[in-house]
Structures are given as structure tokens and as C-alpha cells.
């Protein structure tokens, strides 16, 4: 009886306290403080009224930040982004570095996949998005305001595991297509032997490992296969997930993410699969050299990826396919990753900071250094001005953010 | 401080009358209970409705042929669920076939034969197994379980029974076999649902009244006969409940399965070939599903999985009822 009453009363008391606190939330105080000179008075008054320790702390913070300077308060501009996971480590690193330069900007890049990023920017829930896949005509028709901005390029390599073969294998376009379409069945195939006269291949069936999750890496790799083979273009085609012909033959398997593919390769004798260069390099996986479009055997690296970008031909949407580059030094299996922005924003501060972030990321040598360190190929000087030009055209309520 | 001051400030009379109106807490208590239970309906309807509405595009596009189509080709926007449904069913049933007897034996041992000291330790280990995250099972599957157990077992099965000339009517063990396979997924799932089946069955068996065992022994039954003919039938409906829970986990398991099954959307009769499951394809491809139709197809896959679990649960529930009705004399 008594305990029940006590319970009821205490519940009431808790409810009262909660509602009491809620009426003195920090946001309310902040809003009053924004009215500049009166700030301190108002703040003191609130202190008297509210009188709880939490509120006092908030007030202190407010006094510090409520300086009459026109400089934006630290962390006051939050840019939200989501999308491709392939460039996520770099974007997070860039966001961190940019916040050091301009503390007012906090960029929060949430990953989730290219598809997620495209959905989010179309719905307007993010300020910009990351994507490995290109927007389709339907996307532009629906949202003509979208603009793709290439940021860095990545390379995709072919990793393999054949017991007894420790040398670096060389492959050419035909061999890769035939392996992935199942026409080359065994490692001791004459085509592979001809490319690698010094390597002794065993009589071992080839097991092809591909990504099971939809992925920009798959997109780049299948774009390459489509570029070098008409049959592949007409058959499986290119995309973030495709219907692999080897699966029908029972010699294919899918691994989740780069780690999943790498693990499947390492645990299957006779396996070959594609992973990102950055992943293969940092995990000491054996990967093949490639004969590129001009007939030269090249090794996958940052310089050879940059060579592939140099002669990139951008279309009017600022996108370019850079697989199978004609440059003699170029790594043939490479692709851009993009930011998707709006051509016009409503929030001028956000627009201004987005433009300055992208400008910094694409033209500051420090940003390029950070990219190279993480094994992404930064945009070469031949390409950057063209991209920056488009970025600087971003408007806010119809007016360009960057004055000429 | 506020809590201790409050009672003095409030009017005692008002509180006691309020308390009386609420029948000293009976009404709010009952209300809270009812609301909690009703929220289940809300959840089920909410999830089902969302799946139904969001999959509208795909349903309008392909209709029922989505279920029977066997090609999954996102590039050409051809979406068929059959390989995934078969994959989910095969792996879950394989898991059940392995885990059910094993789990039941563990439960019988723990409940009937195990020395008390050991019972605690084994019981603790069973519960610990249930607490391991599935991604850990998956990683263990790739790096330890497949190379050291699945591969030799699969190769032995393929060697003994997988020759298509000698055993043309036994296609489930034919190669080629590379490790990642439906067999691997089924075995991993068996390990994962084993603790569920074992722990619940043990609790069911422990709840069988002592009088039942004593009566059987008094009639001259051996221990084996007591367990097999008295204790197990008495607890059968509870044990079936454990199996249903295990099956539910197997059907919906995503992470561990996708890490060992090979993720190949291909119809194949062989357990040694890679496959794909419904939950795995949703998790794998959702993030990069670019077009509305693609996303809608994945949601419809979820709807099918939802319907399939519902159907299997209903069938299992009917089974439990029919078992319970057949053995009325034992539930005195």
C-alpha cells in the first residue's frame, strides 16, 4: 500500500523534474545568446532561473563562442555526406584535416555504399554524396541539379593463390576475360603459359573469386572487361554486381568485401580474384602484372594509376571511363570515384564550405599527399583545373558562391 | 533530494483516491502488459506492410514469376528469387538435420545422465556458444572450419559418392568443390543453432515431473526406456518449440552464412557447390542497389523470407498441436 503510493509519487516527481529540465534546454539559451550584446545579461538571468549545474556549463560554452567576430563558431557548420565505401578512409582523413584548417566545418561521411549515397542526395538528406557508380540519365532527369565531381582514382588488381607459384604472374586482357568467363579452365592453359614462360603452372582448376556485395570495385573491373571484350559487354556487362558466367560452371565464388575476397583466395588453392590495390598492397597479397593497351607490361602502383588518369576525356557531366588507357605507362584497370554535389544550394554557408573543401581536397598538395599515402591516385595537374572550374560554379540561391 | 521532498508537498488524500481509482496499480499494470503484447501486432503489421509497399514496383513488374525465375542479373535488371529460396531452405534444413539430434542428445545427457557438477560447466558452455556473434562464426568458418574440417569432409564425400557415372541419382555430392559451399554454410548454421536447441530442450526435459520417471522405473523400465518412452514424449512439444526457434535463427542468419557459402546465385543440386541465401543477398547488395527496381527486388526478397518464416512457423505450430493432442494422457 505505502510502497505503491511512494512509487506513484516518485514517478510524478521524476516526470516533473524531466519536464522542468526540458524547458531549459541548451538550444533555447543559445538562441537568446545569438542576440549579440545582450548575450551576457540574458545568460546570467537564465542561470538564476534554471540554477542547475548542467545549464551553467552550457552557458560557459556559449559565452566563449559568442564573440562578436564574424568568424563561424567551431563546429557550427555540419556537412553531412554518405555513399561509397571505397573512398571512405580518404574522405574521413580529408574531413579531419580540413577541420584542422577550418574548425567551423565538421564533415560527417557515413559510408553505406554508392547506391545509398545516390538515394540520399536525391532525397536531400545529405549535403553531398560519394559514389563509384555513375549517375544514369534517369537520375539526371529526376534531379537535373546533380553534378559529379571526380576526386581520386583507384586501381583494381588480380590477386591469386596457386600452390607452388611464388613468382609474379603476368596476364593480358584476353587471359583475364577468358578466365572470368570460364573459357580458361586450368592454370596450365597454353595461353597462360605463353604469357609466363618462366612460370611452371600446375594442372589445377581455376576458381574465380568475385565480390558478393555490390561494389564500385566490381564496377571498375567489369568496365575493364567490357572495354576489352565485345562478348563480355554483350553478355554480363558492367555494374556494381553482375551475373558471373563462371558461377554457372561451378568454379566461381563470392566473398564479402575486399577482406572476404582476399580470404577466399588465400584459402582456395587455384583461386584468382580482383581486389583494390590499396587492400592487396597493405595485406601483402600476391597480384599479377598486366599487359596494357599499348602492349607494355606494367605493375599496379600509384604512378601507373595516375598515368591512366592523365589523358582522361571528361564528358559534359564531368565523368570519364579510364579503363584500358592508351598511355604506355598506365595501369589498365582503374577508375575514378566521385563526389555528387548539387549545382545550387539554399544554405549559403554550407555551399561556401563545400566549395572550399573540394577546392582544398583537389588542389592542395597536402590533400594529395594524404591520398597517395592511403594508396589513392590524386588528380594530376592536367585534369584538376577542369574539375575546379565546375566546382566553383556551385551557386547559393542563384548566386555563385565563389566571386570572380 | 527532490524525491524525498515530494511526498510532503503532495496531498495525501488526492493520492490515495487516485490510487483507489486505479485499483492500487492493477489497471496501469494490466494496461502496460496488454500494450506490450499488442505492440507485437503493431510490429508485425508494420514490418509486413513496409515490405509489401516497398516491393510494389517489383511485384508489378514481375508478379509471381519472381519466385520461380532463376536468373539474378542486376545489370540487365533481371531478378529471380528461386536460387536464393533454395539456398536458404537447403542450408537451414541441413543445419537442422545435423543440429537437432546433436542438440537433443546434449539435452538428454545434461538433464538425465550428467553428474551435477559437470552439468553446470557444460550448460555454461552451451550458453556461451549462443553468445558468440555470427561474424565471429563466419571468420572462424573461413579460416579454420572450412580448411580443417569442411574441405576434407567434402572431398571425402565427393570421392565416395560424387561420381556422376556411379551414382547418377545422387547429385548432392558432385563437384567441383572448393571449400565455400552450401555444405559449409549448413555446418556453420548447425553449430550456431545447436546451443538454442540444446539449451531449450534441456530446460524442457528438466521440467518433466520426477513422478513420470519414477513411475516408469517402478514398472521395470531401464533408464534408456524411461528416457525414450516416457520423458521424451512428455516433453515433445517443448522440444519441437526449440527446433522452431533454431530453424528461425537458421533462416534469418546472414553474416556467418554469407562468409562461407560462396555467394553464387545459381541453382545447383550439389551441396558441395556454392550457393546463396535470401538474407545474404539483401545484406550484400542493398547498399549498392542503384535503381528503384533493384531496391524493390531486394525488398521483395525480404517479403518472401518473411512469408517463408511465417509459413514454416505455422506448419511447425500445427505439428506441435497435433503432437500435444496425440499424447493427452501423459500430461496429467
What pLDDT is stored for residue A7 in this prediction? Answer: 52
* pLDDT grade for B288, boundaries at 50, 70 and 90: confident
DSSP A343-369: SEES-HHHHHHHHHHHHHHHH-HHHHH
* pLDDT grade for B2, boundaries at 50, 70 and 90: low
What pLDDT is stored for residue A70 in this prediction? Answer: 55
**What is the Cα–Cα distance from B271 to B119, expressed in whole angstroms?**
36
**What is the Cα–Cα distance from A305 to A302, expressed in whole angstroms?**
5
Residue to mutate among A129, A250, A252, A256, with most B CBs inside 10 A, is A250
Which of A242-246, A280-284, A333-337, B16-20 has the lowest average pLDDT?
B16-20
Please provide residue A382's backbone torsions phi and psi, each rounded to the nearest 5 degrees.
-65, -25
Whether residue A25 is predicted with pLDDT greater than 60 in this model: the reply is: no
Q: Which residues of A touch B259 (CB under 8 A)?
A: 255-256, 260
- Please, what is the average pLDDT of chain B? 88
DSSP A173-214: HHHHHHHHTT---BTT-HHHHHH-TT----S-B-EEEEESS-
What pLDDT is stored for residue A31 in this prediction? Answer: 41
Taking an 8 Å cut-off on Cβ atoms, the answer to whether A13 and B264 are in contact is no
Residue ranges per structural domain of chain B: 2-50, 55-325
The three three-digit cell numbers of residue B69, written as one number: 525465375
Whether residue B48 is predicted with pLDDT greater than 50 in this model: the reply is: yes
Q: Which residues of B touch A185 (CB under 8 A)?
A: none
**What is the Cα–Cα distance from A14 to B21, expressed in whole angstroms?**
22
Q: Mind listing the pLDDT tens digit for each residue in B230-250? A: 999 999 888 988 998 899 999
Query: Which residues are CB-neighbours of B260 under 8 A, at least 6 positions away?
Result: B138, B141, B142, B145, B146, B150, B180, B181, B184, B185, B188
Taking an 8 Å cut-off on Cβ atoms, the answer to whether A250 and B273 are in contact is yes
Whether residue B135 is predicted with pLDDT greater than 50 in this model: the reply is: yes
Entry field: residues in chain A: 404
What is the C-alpha end-to-end distance of chain B, expressed in Å? Answer: 55
Count of CB atoms within 10 A of residue A33's CB? 20
Whether residue A146 is predicted with pLDDT greater than 80 in this model: the reply is: yes
**What is the Cα–Cα distance from B64 to B82, expressed in whole angstroms?**
11
Are the C-beta atoms of A335 and A157 separated by less than 8 Å? no
Q: Mind listing the pLDDT tens digit for each residue in B76-114? A: 888 999 999 999 999 999 999 999 999 999 999 999 998
Which of A277-286, A351-360, B176-185, B187-196 has the lowest average pLDDT?
A277-286
Are the C-beta atoms of B52 and B249 separated by less than 8 Å? no
**What is the Cα–Cα distance from A34 to A49, expressed in whole angstroms?**
19
Q: What is the pTM of this model?
A: 0.75
What pLDDT is stored for residue A230 in this prediction? Answer: 94
B265 Cβ under 8 Å from any chain A Cβ: yes
Greatest alpha-carbon span in chain A: 92
Whether residue A298 is predicted with pLDDT greater than 90 in this model: the reply is: yes
Taking an 8 Å cut-off on Cβ atoms, the answer to whether A115 and B10 are in contact is no
Taking an 8 Å cut-off on Cβ atoms, the answer to whether B73 and A236 are in contact is yes
Whether residue A40 is predicted with pLDDT greater than 50 in this model: the reply is: no
Residue B168 φ/ψ region, left for φ over 0, alpha for ψ in the -120 to 50 degree band, beta for the rest: alpha
Q: 3-state DSSP call for residue A281? A: helix
Residue to mutate among B288, B297, B301, with most A CBs inside 10 A, is B288
Q: 3-state DSSP call for residue A38? A: coil
Count of CB atoms within 10 A of residue A260's CB? 26
Whether residue A404 is predicted with pLDDT greater than 60 in this model: the reply is: no
What integer is the mean pLDDT of A338-346? Answer: 94
Whether residue A345 is predicted with pLDDT greater than 90 in this model: the reply is: yes
Find, in chain B, the residue whose alpha carbon is nearest to that of A271.
Answer: B178
What pLDDT is stored for residue A1 in this prediction? Answer: 46
C-alpha distance from B140 to closest chain A C-alpha (Å): 11
Whether residue B321 is predicted with pLDDT greater than 50 in this model: the reply is: yes
Find, in chain B, the residue whose alpha carbon is nearest to that of A6.
Answer: B7
Q: Which residues of B touch A240 (CB under 8 A)?
A: 74, 288, 290
Cis upstream peptide for A204 (omega within 30°)? no
B226 Cβ under 8 Å from any chain A Cβ: no
- Please, what is the average pLDDT of chain A? 83
Percent of chain B with pLDDT over 70: 93
**What is the Cα–Cα distance from A252 to A209, expressed in whole angstroms?**
6
Whether residue A221 is predicted with pLDDT greater than 90 in this model: the reply is: yes
* pLDDT grade for B130, boundaries at 50, 70 and 90: confident
**What is the Cα–Cα distance from A131 to A114, expressed in whole angstroms?**
4
Adjacent-strand bridge partners of B276: none
Query: Which residues are CB-neighbours of A289 under 8 A, at least 6 positions away?
Result: A168, A169, A170, A171, A297, A298, A299, A300
Taking an 8 Å cut-off on Cβ atoms, the answer to whether A241 and B274 are in contact is no
What integer is the mean pLDDT of A319-326? Answer: 91
Taking an 8 Å cut-off on Cβ atoms, the answer to whether A214 and B287 are in contact is yes
What homologous superfamily is domain B55-325 in, according to CATH? MetI-like (1.10.3720.10)
B183 Cβ under 8 Å from any chain A Cβ: no
Window 50-89 of B: residues touching A by CB (8 A cutoff) are: 71-76, 78
* pLDDT grade for A400, boundaries at 50, 70 and 90: confident
What pLDDT is stored for residue A158 in this prediction? Answer: 96
B16 Cβ under 8 Å from any chain A Cβ: yes
Whether residue A388 is predicted with pLDDT greater than 80 in this model: the reply is: yes
Which of A29-43, A191-205, B7-21 has the lowest average pLDDT?
A29-43
**What is the Cα–Cα distance from B108 to B206, expressed in whole angstroms?**
9
Strands (E), A295-333: 297-298
**What is the Cα–Cα distance from B152 to B1, expressed in whole angstroms?**
68
Between B13 and B4, where is the model more confident? B13
What pLDDT is stored for residue A48 in this prediction? Answer: 42
Taking an 8 Å cut-off on Cβ atoms, the answer to whether A115 and B24 are in contact is no
Q: Which residues of A touch B283 (CB under 8 A)?
A: 213
* pLDDT grade for A54, boundaries at 50, 70 and 90: very low
> What value of ipTM does the predicted structure carry?
0.72
C-alpha distance from B44 to closest chain A C-alpha (Å): 26
Q: Which residues of B touch A213 (CB under 8 A)?
A: 283-285, 287-288
**What is the Cα–Cα distance from B171 to B153, expressed in whole angstroms?**
16
What pLDDT is stored for residue B26 in this prediction? Answer: 84
Taking an 8 Å cut-off on Cβ atoms, the answer to whether A4 and B25 are in contact is yes
At residue A135's C-alpha, the angle toward residues A129 and A141, to 5°, is: 110
**What is the Cα–Cα distance from B76 to B173, expressed in whole angstroms?**
32
Find, in chain A, the residue whose alpha carbon is nearest to that of B13.
Answer: A5
Find, in chain B, the residue whose alpha carbon is nearest to that of A239.
Answer: B75
Are the C-beta atoms of A272 and A208 separated by less than 8 Å? yes
Query: Cα-atom radius of gyration of chain A, to the nearest Å?
Result: 27
B175 Cβ under 8 Å from any chain A Cβ: yes
Query: Which residues are CB-neighbours of B108 under 8 A, at least 6 positions away?
Result: B201, B205, B227, B231, B232
Distance of CA B292 to the CA centre of its chain: 31
Count of CB atoms within 10 A of residue B7's CB? 14
Which of A250-254, A310-314, A345-349 has the lowest average pLDDT?
A310-314
Are the C-beta atoms of B180 and B261 separated by less than 8 Å? yes
Between A61 and A212, where is the model more confident? A212
* pLDDT grade for A156, boundaries at 50, 70 and 90: very high
What pLDDT is stored for residue B7 in this prediction? Answer: 54
* pLDDT grade for B179, boundaries at 50, 70 and 90: confident
What integer is the mean pLDDT of B56-60? Answer: 93
What pLDDT is stored for residue B313 in this prediction? Answer: 86
Count of CB atoms within 10 A of residue B225's CB? 13
Taking an 8 Å cut-off on Cβ atoms, the answer to whether B180 and A253 are in contact is yes
C-alpha distance from B26 to closest chain A C-alpha (Å): 11
Are the C-beta atoms of A298 and A331 separated by less than 8 Å? yes
Q: Which residues of A touch B74 (CB under 8 A)?
A: 214, 239-243
Percent of chain A with pLDDT over 70: 82
Q: Which residues of A touch B16 (CB under 8 A)?
A: 5
Whether residue B6 is predicted with pLDDT greater than 80 in this model: the reply is: no
Percent of chain A with pLDDT over 90: 55
Residue to mutate among B150, B268, B287, with most A CBs inside 10 A, is B287
Q: Which of B186, B259, B264, B202 is nearest to B235 (CA)?
A: B202
What pLDDT is stored for residue B5 in this prediction? Answer: 53
What integer is the mean pLDDT of A363-384? Answer: 90
Are the C-beta atoms of A133 and A355 separated by less than 8 Å? no
What integer is the mean pLDDT of B208-233? Answer: 92
What pLDDT is stored for residue A316 in this prediction? Answer: 87
Taking an 8 Å cut-off on Cβ atoms, the answer to whether B274 and A243 are in contact is no
Amino acid at each position: 500500500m505505502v510502497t505503491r503510493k511512494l512509487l506513484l509519487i516518485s514517478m510524478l516527481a521524476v516526470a516533473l523534474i524531466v519536464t522542468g529540465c526540458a524547458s531549459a534546454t541548451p538550444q533555447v539559451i543559445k538562441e537568446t545568446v545569438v542576440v549579440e550584446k545582450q548575450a551576457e545579461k540574458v545568460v546570467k538571468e537564465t542561470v538564476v532561473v534554471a540554477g542547475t549545474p548542467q545549464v551553467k556549463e552550457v552557458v560557459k560554452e556559449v559565452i566563449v563562442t559568442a564573440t562578436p567576430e564574424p568568424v563561424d563558431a567551431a563546429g557550427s557548420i555540419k556537412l553531412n555526406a554518405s555513399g561509397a565505401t571505397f573512398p571512405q578512409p580518404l574522405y574521413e582523413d580529408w574531413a579531419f584535416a580540413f577541420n584542422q584548417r577550418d574548425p567551423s566545418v565538421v564533415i560527417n561521411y557515413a559510408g553505406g555504399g554508392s547506391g545509398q549515397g545516390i538515394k540520399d542526395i536525391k532525397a536531400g538528406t545529405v549535403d553531398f554524396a560519394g559514389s563509384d557508380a555513375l549517375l544514369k540519365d534517369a537520375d539526371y532527369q529526376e534531379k537535373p541539379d546533380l553534378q559529379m565531381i571526380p576526386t581520386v582514382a583507384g586501381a583494381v588488381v588480380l590477386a591469386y593463390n596457386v600452390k607452388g607459384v611464388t613468382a609474379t604472374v603476368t596476364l593480358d586482357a584476353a587471359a583475364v576475360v577468358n578466365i572470368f568467363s570460364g573459357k580458361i579452365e586450368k592454370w596450365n592453359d597454353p595461353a597462360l603459359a605463353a604469357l609466363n614462360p618462366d612460370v611452371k603452372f600446375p594442372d589445377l582448376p581455376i576458381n574465380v573469386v568475385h565480390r558478393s556485395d555490390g561494389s564500385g570495385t566490381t564496377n571498375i573491373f567489369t568496365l575493364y572487361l567490357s572495354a576489352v571484350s565485345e562478348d563480355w559487354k554483350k553478355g554480363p556487362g558492367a555494374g556494381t554486381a553482375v551475373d558471373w558466367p563462371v558461377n554457372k560452371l561451378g568454379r566461381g565464388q563470392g566473398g564479402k568485401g575486399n577482406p572476404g575476397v582476399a580470404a577466399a583466395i588465400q584459402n582456395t588453392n587455384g583461386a584468382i580474384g580482383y581486389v583494390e590495390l590499396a587492400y592487396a598492397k597493405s595485406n601483402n597479397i600476391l597480384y599479377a602484372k598486366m599487359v596494357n593497351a599499348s602492349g607494355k607490361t606494367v605493375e599496379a602502383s600509384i604512378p601507373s594509376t595516375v598515368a591512366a588518369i592523365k589523358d582522361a576525356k571528361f564528358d559534359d557531366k564531368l565523368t570519364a571511363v579510364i579503363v584500358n588507357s592508351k598511355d604506355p605507362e598506365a595501369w589498365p584497370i582503374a577508375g575514378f570515384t566521385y563526389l555528387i554535389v548539387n549545382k545550387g544550394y539554399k544554405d549559403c554557408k554550407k555551399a561556401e564550405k563545400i566549395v572550399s573543401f573540394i577546392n582544398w581536397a583537389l588542389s592542395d598538395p597536402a590533400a594529395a599527399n594524404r591520398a597517395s599515402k592511403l594508396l589513392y591516385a590524386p588528380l594530376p595537374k592536367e585534369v584538376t583545373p577542369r574539375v575546379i572550374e565546375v566546382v566553383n560554379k556551385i551557386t547559393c540561391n542563384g548566386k555563385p558562391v565563389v566571386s570572380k | 533530494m527532490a524525491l524525498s521532498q515530494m511526498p510532503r508537498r503532495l496531498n495525501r488524500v488526492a493520492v490515495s483516491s487516485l490510487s483507489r481509482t486505479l485499483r492500487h496499480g492493477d489497471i496501469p499494470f494490466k494496461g502496460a502488459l496488454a500494450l506490450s503484447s499488442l505492440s507485437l501486432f503493431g510490429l508485425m503489421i508494420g514490418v509486413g506492410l513496409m515490405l509489401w509497399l516497398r516491393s510494389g514496383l517489383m511485384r508489378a513488374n514481375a508478379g509471381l514469376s519472381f519466385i520461380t525465375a532463376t536468373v539474378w542479373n542486376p545489370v540487365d535488371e533481371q531478378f529471380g528469387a528461386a536460387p536464393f529460396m533454395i539456398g536458404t531452405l537447403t542450408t537451414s534444413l541441413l543445419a537442422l538435420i545435423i543440429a537437432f539430434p546433436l542438440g537433443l542428445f546434449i539435452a538428454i545427457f545434461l538433464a538425465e545422465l550428467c553428474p551435477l557438477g559437470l552439468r553446470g560447466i557444460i550448460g555454461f558452455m552451451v550458453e556461451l556458444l549462443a553468445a558468440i556473434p555470427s561474424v565471429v562464426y563466419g571468420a572462424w568458418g573461413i579460416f579454420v572450419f572450412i580448411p580443417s574440417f569442411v574441405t576434407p569432409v567434402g572431398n571425402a564425400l565427393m570421392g565416395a559418392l560424387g561420381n556422376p557415372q556411379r551414382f547418377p541419382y545422387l547429385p548432392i555430392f558432385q563437384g567441383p568443390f572448393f571449400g565455400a559451399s552450401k555444405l559449409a554454410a549448413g555446418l556453420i548454421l548447425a553449430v550456431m543453432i545447436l546451443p538454442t536447441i540444446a539449451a531449450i530442450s534441456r530446460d524442457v526435459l528438466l521440467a518433466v515431473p520426477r513422478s513420470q520417471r519414477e513411475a516408469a522405473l517402478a514398472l521395470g523400465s531401464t533408464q534408456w526406456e524411461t528416457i525414450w518412452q516416457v520423458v521424451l514424449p512428455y516433453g515433445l512439444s517443448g522440444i519441437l518449440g526449440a527446433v522452431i526457434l533454431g530453424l528461425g535463427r537458421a533462416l534469418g542468419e546472414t553474416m556467418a552464412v554469407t562468409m562461407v557459402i560462396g555467394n553464387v546465385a545459381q541453382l545447383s543440386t550439389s551441396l558441395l557447390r556454392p550457393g546463396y541465401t535470401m538474407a545474404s543477398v539483401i545484406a550484400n547488395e542493398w547498399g549498392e542497389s542503384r535503381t528503384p527496381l533493384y531496391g524493390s527486388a531486394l525488398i521483395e526478397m525480404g517479403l518472401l523470407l518473411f512469408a517463408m518464416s511465417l509459413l514454416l512457423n505455422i506448419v511447425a505450430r500445427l505439428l506441435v498441436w497435433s503432437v500435444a493432442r496425440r499424447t493427452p494422457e501423459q500430461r496429467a
